């Protein structure tokens, strides 16, 4: 309730209301004093303070416009919002005479897309038919990503005039995340050091790939990710200064006795416990680290079994036993490789995109990136993935075209056998 008054920069003058300033606003209709609910008392108090509220809003708008002017804001300035709805960009648009030509969101979802339909909008994470489902997963637990991207500045609560300048007032509790944010920034620096060392190209990752990576982190976090990210503090938005951890003991306690049901419900209904637990999968992983990954591995194994059988049938039907590369060294490969050995099928090598960052080995082979493999006429590449079969096929086709490689065979579980001529 205190945060609600702070939102409009009001003091709580009524002693009876002040006694309950730490009460959740949603609970104010259950408390009775002198024949009235606390909610009725607050409503009456706010109505009486309406002139002051309007005055405060007018001053804030004035300060905000002056602040943008200080930043040399113009109509060709680029505004970036890490949220998905675009409401902040809309509000800035309506509050200023200088209308920005381009709006940028880190990501958007269905309601955000509709909200910004008539504006010139660009999103870093693409919202397409292919990514829509994963975007909804990111939207469900967006706090994690927004905290990291916002950095140590955090939420602006208000503005004030100081030495003839307008200064934003930020939440002093933002420092609670200082240690994690510094570690995150060091991780970014480390990534770019590796990228320079191994001369990674700018288009090593497609933006659609990044959607998949973020979705994996939210849906199937490692214990380290659940602990590190779950320890971040987030505010309630709407200029509230109240902050709590992404994963609290209360969240863990509420899931302890119904872990299976909670996971099932959250998997089928993104809104499940939306206002109670920001990150259900992270909380489950803290309680039982291998629970989600083991369930998903069983499901993926079921998908992979059919795909592996189809690839083996394609090899047998086309009498292919030599000059074979495998693209993808993950769970699918672990299931495929023993079958290849049983049929005495010889491999020339293993390919994996991760080798761009750092060389590694598997089953006695030095795993290489596609760019480092010297493909020859009549070589065969088996795509060792059910989920990303089309994407990897496209990568190989583009690589062969760019390097004038002919008579290369591609085997995947969708198209069976493709030959590049």
Residues 137-181: pLDDT tens digits?
999 988 888 888 888 777 788 899 999 899 998 877 778 888 889
Query: Which has the closest alpha carbon to 217: 268, 145, 288?
Result: 145
pLDDT at 153: 74
The more confidently predicted of residues 421 and 341 is 341
Query: Which has the closest alpha carbon to 42: 81, 5, 83?
Result: 5
Instruction: Confirm if 281 and 220 have CB atoms less than 8 A apart.
Output: yes
Query: What is the Cα 344 distance to its own chain's centre?
Result: 43
Per-residue pLDDT, averaged over 237-244, amounts to 67
Per-residue pLDDT, averaged over 272-284, amounts to 91
> 193-200 long-range contacts, Cβ below 8 Å, gap at least 24?
194/357, 194/358, 198/356, 198/357, 198/358, 200/356, 200/357
pLDDT at 238: 55
Question: 36-50, 72-86, 90-104, 216-230: which has the minimum mean pLDDT?
Answer: 90-104
CA distances in angstroms from 96 to 66, 68, 73, 371, listed in the order given: 10, 9, 10, 50
- Looking at residue 271, what DSSP letter applies? T
Class (C level, CATH) for 295-420: alpha beta
Per-residue pLDDT, averaged over 271-279, amounts to 89
pLDDT at 35: 86
- Looking at residue 111, what DSSP letter applies? H
Whether residue 45 has pLDDT greater than 70: yes
| CA atoms of 11 and 401, how far apart (whole Å) | 69
In the chain, ranges of CATH 3.40.50 domains: 295-420
Instruction: Confirm if 287 and 250 have CB atoms less than 8 A apart.
Output: no
- Percentages (nearest 5) of helix, strand, coil residues in the chain: 50, 15, 35
Q: Distance from first CA to last CA of the chain, Å, rounded?
A: 70
Whether residue 389 has pLDDT greater than 90: no
Strand partners, 326: 350, 382
Instruction: Confirm if 345 and 315 have CB atoms less than 8 A apart.
Output: yes
Residue 337: pLDDT band (50, 70, 90) is very high
Tell which phi-psi region holds residue 233, choosing left (phi > 0), alpha (psi between -120 and 50) or beta. Answer: beta
| CA atoms of 305 and 384, how far apart (whole Å) | 12
40: tokens are: 């009725």
Q: In this predicted model, what pLDDT tens digit does every residue of 182-192 receive, in sequence order?
A: 999 999 999 89
pLDDT at 247: 94
pLDDT averaged over every residue in the chain: 87
């Amino acid at each position: 309730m205190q945060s609600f008054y702070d939102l409009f920069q009001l003091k709580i003058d009524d002693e009876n209301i002040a006694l309950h300033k730490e009460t959740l606003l949603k609970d104010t209709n259950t408390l009775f004093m002198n024949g009235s609910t606390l909610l009725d008392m607050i409503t009456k108090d706010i109505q009486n303070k309406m002139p002051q509220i309007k005055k405060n809003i007018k001053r804030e708008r004035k300060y905000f416009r002056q602040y943008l002017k200080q930043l040399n804001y113009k109509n060709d300035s680029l505004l970036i919002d890490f949220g998905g709805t675009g409401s902040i960009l809309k509000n800035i648009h309506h509050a200023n005479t200088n209308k920005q030509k381009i709006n940028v969101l880190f990501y958007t979802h269905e309601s955000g897309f509709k909200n910004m339909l008539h504006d010139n909008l660009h999103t870093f994470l693409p919202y397409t038919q292919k990514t829509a489902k994963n975007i909804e997963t990111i939207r469900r637990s967006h706090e994690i990503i927004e905290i990291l991207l916002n950095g140590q500045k955090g939420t602006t609560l208000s503005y004030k005039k100081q030495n003839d300048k307008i200064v934003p007032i930020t939440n002093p509790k933002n420092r609670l995340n200082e240690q994690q944010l510094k570690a995150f920034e060091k991780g970014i620096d480390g990534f770019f050091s590796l990228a320079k060392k191994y001369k990674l190209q700018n288009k090593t990752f497609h933006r659609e790939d990044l959607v998949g990576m973020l979705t994996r982190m939210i849906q199937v976090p490692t214990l380290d990710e659940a602990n590190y990210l779950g320890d971040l503090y987030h505010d309630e938005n709407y200029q509230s200064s109240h902050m709590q951890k992404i994963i609290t003991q209360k969240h863990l306690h509420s899931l302890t006795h119904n872990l299976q049901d909670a996971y099932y419900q959250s998997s089928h209904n993104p809104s499940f416990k939306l206002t109670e637990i920001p990150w259900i999968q992270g909380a489950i992983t803290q309680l039982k680290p291998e629970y989600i990954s083991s369930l998903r591995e069983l499901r993926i194994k079921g998908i992979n079994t059919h795909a592996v059988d189809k690839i083996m049938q394609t090899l047998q039907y086309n009498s292919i036993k030599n000059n074979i590369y495998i693209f993808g060294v993950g769970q699918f490969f672990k299931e495929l490789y023993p079958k290849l050995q049983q049929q005495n099928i010889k491999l020339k090598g293993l390919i994996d995109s991760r080798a761009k960052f750092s060389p590694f080995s598997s089953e006695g082979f030095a795993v290489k990136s596609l760019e480092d493999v010297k493909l020859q006429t009549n070589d065969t590449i088996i795509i060792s993935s059910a989920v990303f079969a089309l994407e990897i096929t496209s990568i190989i086709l583009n690589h062969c075209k760019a390097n004038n490689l002919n008579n290369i065979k591609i085997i995947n579980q969708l198209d069976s056998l493709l030959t590049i001529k």
